[in-house]
């Protein structure tokens, strides 16, 4: 079984991105800039944002975090986004989710200029991805996609099953794999026989937030299994895949932690650089 070392693959990607930033700097005398807006003081968000900044600095991007208290008015955020949209030192804008209840997430996402939408959440980017046009691609599925391609470069005709239909992962992941000529099934909580669907899969991407949902006897021999889950349990952090069982049948499997997580952040940096290049 191949243990897919997301930490190592992300480090290699950051190394490539660092090289690219230094070339862009030489060519344009400017580096791509990422601005993150963080509202409130939720611990996980604080940690994510700190990691994003650390990685951005490591590859040589300009990075800025703008913090607001939990009670900030929606208009203040929308005005700041409008200002960042016009600022040509800012290549990418990310508003850390989740947002406080009084702020309309959709309005925030739609205020970010599609050309600076490093999350790929704007409906324009969602639409472009689904039409197969150039777009920003959400960082987590992009990271999963790059991991799958490391294991298997030709995905044509493979049967891929998404466990979970979220806008954050299942749906964009399905689009990326469809582009690679996979036959894609998107399953969800109302799927009649999830085990039977998974057993058909050459590739499984699990992103539902249910600890160890995907069992060993759900997985075909030699399948590639990507675990997006991060679940806090009595046993500690576990994914959406029963790691010990599945590792006995799968061809390749991502660990949690150290699989998809590091790739998500590396892909955010990649998206920031892509936005910069498209703006030139
Ligand atoms: N919070 C957790 N994951 C994400 C993400 O990918 N993007 C944003 N904006 N917020 C998040």
Residue extents of the structural domains in the chain: 29-113, 139-261
Ligand 1 atom index nearest CA of 119: 7
Question: 96 CB under 6 A from ligand 1?
Answer: yes
Q: What is the pLDDT along the chain (280 residues), one digit of tens a residue?
A: 999 999 999 999 999 999 999 999 999 999 999 999 999 999 999 999 999 999 999 999 999 999 999 999 999 999 999 999 999 999 999 999 999 999 999 999 999 999 999 999 999 999 999 999 999 999 999 999 999 999 999 999 999 999 999 999 999 999 999 999 999 999 999 999 999 999 999 999 999 999 999 999 999 999 999 999 999 999 999 999 999 999 999 999 999 999 999 999 999 999 999 999 999 9
pTM over the 0.95 mark: yes
Residue nearest to atom 2 of ligand 1 (CA): 97
Residue 119 is a catalytic residue: yes
Question: 97 CB under 6 A from ligand 1?
Answer: yes
> What CA–CA distance (Å, rounded) separates 36 from 34?
7
Residue 52 is a catalytic residue: yes
Helix (H) / strand (E) containing 251: none
Q: Can you spell out the DSSP letters for 148-171?
A: HHHH-S--TT-EEEEE---TTTHH
Are both 29-113 and 139-261 of the same fold?
Answer: yes
Ligand 1 atom index nearest CA of 98: 1
Centroid of ligand 1 to alpha carbon of 207 (angstroms)? 14
> Taking Cα atoms as reference points, which of 117, 187, 180, 198 lies closest to residue 144?
180
Q: Hey, which CATH number is domain 29-113, 3.20.20.80, 3.40.50.10860, 3.30.230.30, 3.40.50.300?
A: 3.40.50.10860
Residues 231-252 have pLDDT tens digits of 999 999 999 999 999 999 999 9
- In 10 A of CB 143, how many CB atoms? 29
For the domain made up of 139-261, the CATH class stated in words is alpha beta
Residue 117 is a catalytic residue: no
The β-bridge partners of 92 are 34
């Amino acid at each position: 079984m191949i243990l897919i070392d997301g930490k190592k693959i992300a480090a290699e990607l950051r190394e490539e991105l660092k090289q690219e930033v230094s070339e862009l700097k030489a060519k344009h005398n400017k580096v791509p800039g990422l601005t993150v807006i963080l509202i409130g003081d939720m611990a996980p968000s604080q940690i994510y944002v700190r990691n994003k900044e650390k990685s951005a600095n490591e590859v040589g991007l300009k990075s800025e975090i703008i913090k607001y208290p939990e009670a900030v008015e929606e208009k203040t955020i929308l005005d700041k986004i409008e200002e960042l949209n016009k600022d040509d030192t800012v290549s990418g804008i990310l508003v850390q989710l989740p947002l406080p209840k009084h702020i309309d997430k959709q309005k925030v996402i739609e205020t970010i200029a599609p050309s600076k939408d490093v999350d790929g959440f704007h409906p324009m980017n969602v639409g472009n991805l689904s039409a197969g046009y150039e777009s920003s691609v959400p960082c987590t599925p992009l990271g999963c996609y790059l991991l799958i391609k490391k294991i298997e470069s030709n995905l044509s005709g493979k049967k891929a099953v998404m466990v979970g239909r979220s806008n954050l992962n299942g749906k964009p992941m399905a689009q990326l794999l469809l582009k690679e000529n996979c036959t894609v099934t998107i399953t969800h909580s109302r799927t009649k026989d999830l085990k039977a669907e998974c057993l058909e899969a050459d590739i499984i991407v699990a992103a539902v937030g249910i600890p160890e949902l995907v069992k060993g006897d759900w997985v075909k021999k030699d399948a590639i299994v990507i675990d997006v889950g991060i679940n806090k349990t009595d046993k500690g952090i576990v994914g959406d895949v029963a790691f010990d069982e599945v590792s006995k049948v799968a061809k390749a499997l991502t660990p949690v932690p150290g699989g998809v997580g590091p790739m998500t952040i590396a892909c955010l940096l990649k998206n920031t650089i892509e936005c910069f290049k498209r703006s030139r």
